[in-house]
Every structure is written in C-alpha cells, then in structure tokens.
Structure 1
Amino acid sequence: MELPKYHETFIPILETLNKVESLKSRELASKVRDLYYSDLPQELLNQKTTSGANVLLDRILWGKSYLKMARFVSYPKRGVVQITEKGKNILVKGQLSLYELQNDPDFINYRESVNSEKHNDIELGKVKVDNASPQDLIDSGFSSIETEVKTELLEKLKELDPYYFEKVILILLKKMGYGDFIETTKSGDGGIDGIINEDKLGLEKIYTQAKRYNETKVREKDIRNFIGAMSGDTSKGVFITTSTFDDSAVKKAHEAHHSIILIDGAKLVDLMHQYNVGVQVKTVYEIKEIDNDFFEGE
C-alpha cells in the first residue's frame, strides 16, 4: 500500500465538497483523509515531509490547489473552498486525470497568467521521473510551487482596494532600492498615483501609475493621459497593471519622449516574489555534498 499521489485526490476532494456548501481548507483535507484513506497503515498516515508537514494532507491540499487553477473548485472567501458547477459536472463523468486537468483551457489560462520571459521550461508533469536527475525533480518542484504562489498572488492583487494597490506598488519600488515615495492625493491627481525618488536626495523623480484591472487591457489613451500628467520636472514614469497592455499602449510608451516602463501582471508578481513583497519564506531546504577537501588532507 502507498499514499495517493496528489492528482489521485481530485475526485475524492470533489465528492467531499459536493456534500456540503463549503469547507475550510484544513477541514477539507482532514475529511478527505478520513473518508477515503483511513484504511491505510498508520505509519503511512503519519508520514512527514522534510519540513515536518503531513505528507497525505499536503498532497490533498495540492490537489485542491490544482482543482482551483482549473476552476473545478473556488474560494468564496479566505481559507474556504467550495465546488463549482464545473466540478459537479466532472463528478458525473466520475474521473479526472492529471493529463485532462493540465490540458483544460481554464488551467492553461491560469498558469499562463504569470508566465513571463523568466518562465522556467521545467513544469510539473513535464519531467519524466525515470529519466530525470534528482536536480531536475527539485527544479520542477520549486518551479511548480513558485507558479502556484505567483498565480495566487496575482489573484489577490486583483481583489485589492485600488488605493491600497497603489500603495503596494510604491512599497515594492522602495524594496527595489528606490528612495522615499509620496502618495498623491486621491482627488485631482492628474493620473499620477505616486512619486518616488530615484536617488536618496530626491533630485531625480519617477512618477507612477497603477491600474488594478482584472481582464481589461491598458489602452493607448491610458498611456497618453499618464504622459500628459507628468510635470516638467521629470521625464521618467512607471505604469503598472495587474492585467496586460494592448499593442497600441506598448507602441505609445515606446515612442514617447519620456522614458516609460511598462509592468504587466506577470512581471509584477515576478518582482514581488523576488523582493518578498506580499510573500514570505515558508521552508528552507539544505542540500549537502561531499567535502572532498576534507578527505584530501595530509
């Protein structure tokens, strides 16, 4: 006997959620364990990861996360999970493989929402265990966890109050090494959300504009208004959005006499992840190798 793989928990998770209105994540994991896997040997049920988490509960929670990516379940509020109509429909079929989920349009769109130029080619499910080196498997696992964190981070940003989103952007820019920032007043700010100092003395200023959009793309008009709002004491601006820029907006920014940097949702969560804004370190792993110098001493 062995513990189920995370993708083997898809149907048990959906069946459990189908019996109730909603459940908290940890409660869901415990119920799935008790309903479907209680006959496993106790040593398997108690098995821990290297970080001390229960392996089975961890796999169930990962199964829940992937079901969320493909919209088979939803999070109606923080920490709570419920089945969607799409999830109920798949229960009629009675099975859901990892291959089917990874090729589901909603899952593909969800993962691609945080893909950027830095995107790692190693993705979960694409590495063949039999042919992969231990390092390949580690890289694949880290890549999958990073993608999950970034996709969830982007969703949270899209749900923020627009004014707080603007502040998050200024906090990020300060973490990146820029000077103090000034939040502009919320009325009559002329399209400028914040002003940051490029140097410690504030001799060079950078204006910022932050648009918290869900699906709406930033258009040329938005860039034009931003450029128009920049006063004569600066020629530098950063326009940030949780969505994307349409082609005309990108062209307008590139052709402007001002220096305009565009940051879309994928790049934004890359930067937040890199500079630890809105995320925190959960676990640190040590990988050791032989110290050959130790054995080569006189």
Structure 2
Amino acid sequence: MAEKKQAEFLQWFNPTLDALRKLGGSGSPVDVSTTIAKNFNIPESKLNETIKSGASKFHNQVCWARQYLVWEGYIDPSVRGVWKLTKKGENKKITDSEARKIFLKWVEINAMNRKKKEEEKSAVIEIDEEEIDDSSLSLDYKKKVLEYLRAMSPKNFERFCLYLLRVNAFENLQLTGKSHDEGIDGIAILRINPVISFRVLFQAKRYKEGNNVSRVQIGDFRNAMIGRADKGIFITTSKFTSEAIKEAYRDGAPQVELVDSDKLINMMELSQIGLKQVTTYEVDPVFFQQYLKD
C-alpha cells in the first residue's frame, strides 16, 4: 500500500470507534461512514470520490480501518452487515502513532501467514488445490450478479424488482409502465399485520457502475409519490450520492427507502433469488503430511 494511501487509511481508526460509540455501540457500515463524515465535516466533493470499482473511496477507507480493528479485537465481526464494539473496543482511543503500529503489525502477520501457507502448500506431494480467497470469491459473484442485472432491459429489471419485493412479503404488486406515471415503476402493499398496511410506490433504475442516483432524482420521485402512497422505495444497480441520501431521509418529508447495489444483492442472498448457497472446504496440508512421509 502506498504511503499516501496508508495515511488516508490509518486516520479513520479512532474515528470509526468514536462513531460506533456515538451510534450506541453498533451500526451499519453506511451509518458509521455517515457519522464520521458529519463529525469531520467532510466536503461533498470528497465523499463523491470513487475507486476503480465505482465504490466510494471514503467509505472504502473506513471499511479498511474496520478490518484492522476487527483483527485487533476492537470490533466484533460475527453479525453480517453490523459493526459492533467489543468490550475491548468500548473505551479504546487510538492515536495516530498507535494506528500505524497496528497497521505494521498486521501487515507483518498477514505476510507471515501467506508465507506459511505457501510453504505448507509446496510441501504437500501430489495435491493440486488452489487456495481460495473468500474476499475475491465474494467480489466475483457480486460482480457477476451486477453484470446480469445491468444487462437486463429497463422493463425486465422492473419485473425483476417486482419479483424481489413479492418474495420479501409485499402484496398486490403491479407495474405501472405508463408514461404519465412520472417515473413510478410499480405499486405494492406492505402489510404489517392483519389490520395495518402501507401503500408503497417503487422506482427501479438499472444504472451502470459510477452512474449514481442524484438528489434531484430522489426529490422528483418523492414529488410523484406524495398523495399517492405512504412510502417510496428507490432501487438501483448503482449507488446514491451523499446528497441523495440526505434528501431521502430529510426531516419533514415522506421518507424514501434506498436500495443500492449492495443492499440489492443482500436481499437476493437472503431470499436466495438467482443465487445458490454453497459450502466449500480448505485443505489442511498438515493433516496429510503424516501419510505422505515414509
């Protein structure tokens, strides 16, 4: 990692812990990033910077900080999609110098682990098992899912979203598909219990990577739903700008639920739509050694 990236990456160690404390000890990745951004008054231009994949550069740096804090035992990684402080991390304060020490410590540990795996792999006779990197595997299948979604026609993507909502307990779903519906793609009912239900409108945007949904689009969608529904859902295969997120949850206005590419794939995982859950195994070279020696 380049020196400049190190500096950007390390500066969020302590702010990540502070953000989780402010959020009551736990929070979603987006909640944590948003809290840090507010605490440090990070400008909009900085928040909209992206990395090659199209993801937020700032959020990516916070996620890297979180990973090192997990390795150090300050954040509990056991619940997917939720960052939670451990007892060790509840009152922990990390200085800049300590952050660098933590970084160098785990760079060395990971390098040693990789070297050890390579040595174990080369010591095993006639075993040709390619090491599987779970993170790259996860990235590959998510990337493939997005390729499929973005290859759909706009109408078929609307049909897909309709099906996804139906599997997630929405009722009376229908596509509008009319030019005078001001961007509203579908209507649904979300039933809370036998007595209470909400009328929901949704919009589906099959956007390419980097083509993020803007504040204006959220505002237009809300204006179209006012007086016609209790809640709106905006679904996209891309991301939302920080201003769009603010607009969606603006005080005094009907809230719009946002489903970006990450949340969309997460819904597919939970519903197992278009995805098949698999179990894999890692070969233990040490075990086989006892049977390969004369």
Structure with the higher fraction of residues in helix conformation: 2
TM-score (norm 1): 0.48
TM-score, normalised with respect to structure 2: 0.49
Higher relative contact order, structure no. (Cα contacts within 8 Å, ≥ 6 residues apart): 2
